[in-house]
Amino acid sequence: LPQQPLGAGVAVGAGVSDCQGLVHRAGVSWEPERLLRECGLSVLEFDHLAGEGQEAFEPYVTERFGSPVMDVSKGYEAYESRLREESPKFLKTTLAKERRLGRQRGGTRFVFDERDPKALAALMEWKSAQYRRTGRRDRFAQGWIAGLVDDLAGTRTEGLTGTLSVLYADDGRPIAAHFGLRSRRVLACWFPAYDVEFAKYSPGLILHLRMAEAAAAEGLELLDLGRGDAEYKDDLKTGELTVAEARVLRPSVGAVVHRLRHDPVKRAHAFVRERPQLAAFARKALNQAGRLRRA
């Protein structure tokens, strides 16, 4: 397990992993506090704890969150029909923008499983710019995350495939792209981004609709958009999975220091999340910070 100071353990890939928990054989039971003791940990934390198979961590859950999903198990037409019922204005507007993009840019081309490294580089460049523009920490400035994405982009196994999906203009210029991880039935959505020159067409939304169509054709059932408040997720989703934050503590000096250091921050985040107007103000402040940083 990755360890922080004072014996605090976190999930593998913490910061980018959207589904966490203990990997174990079916039917195996364990005691979380004994697990910590055997691993030499004082604290073990999750921020995207899966529900299924992690019942032993249930007493340690501190908060639950929805993880929006796009259900294409009955085919893309059924998914689009549901959107037409639940979000008719969104679907009509997005499809109209897609048609306008095609007319004004000479057509578009979508590739579900692109292998061109230049397209991946473009995605990472766009995403880094988005992080800076919105006042967030640039994840791709962290070498291990950039390296992980590069490695996974070349991974193709029966149960795991790094999947780069790209929307191109007719001249071959990439407009929007997404990199995620695909299993036999789920596409875990990870890093979407687009060229801001095309922003008026909502290329990211168009991309997600084409991803859903291609995923359904490949026999996938769900596109997991991941935990987090975002308008586009609310527009695209047909339902939600549940993930949780959980923390197991073993009596120790390390556990006490960890709580003193991290609890005030967690309470502040929860306070903001529970107040939509304050959350909107916080997002506005981050965007302003991003603009000042670029000035």
Dump pLDDT digits (tens) for 206-226: 999 999 999 999 999 999 999
Taken in order of first residue, the domains within the chain and their CATH numbers are 3-65+242-294 (no CATH), 73-220 (3.40.630)
Residues with Cβ within 8 Å of residue 265, at least 6 apart in sequence: none
Mean pLDDT of 74-91: 96
Q: What percentage of the chain exceeds 90 in pLDDT?
A: 68
> Under a CB-based contact definition with an 8 Å cutoff, are residues 41 and 3 in contact?
yes
When comparing pLDDT for 270 and 14, which is higher?
14
Q: What is the largest CA-CA distance in the chain?
A: 65
C-alpha angle with apex 16: 141 to 163, nearest 5 degrees? 90
DSSP symbols for 190-244: EEEEE-GGGGGG-HHHHHHHHHHHHHHHTT--EEE--SS--HHHHHH-SEEEEEE
Give the C-alpha separation, 60 to 55, whole Å.
Answer: 10
**pLDDT, tens only, 86-138:** 999 999 999 999 999 999 989 999 999 999 999 999 999 999 999 999 888 99
When comparing pLDDT for 176 and 288, which is higher?
176
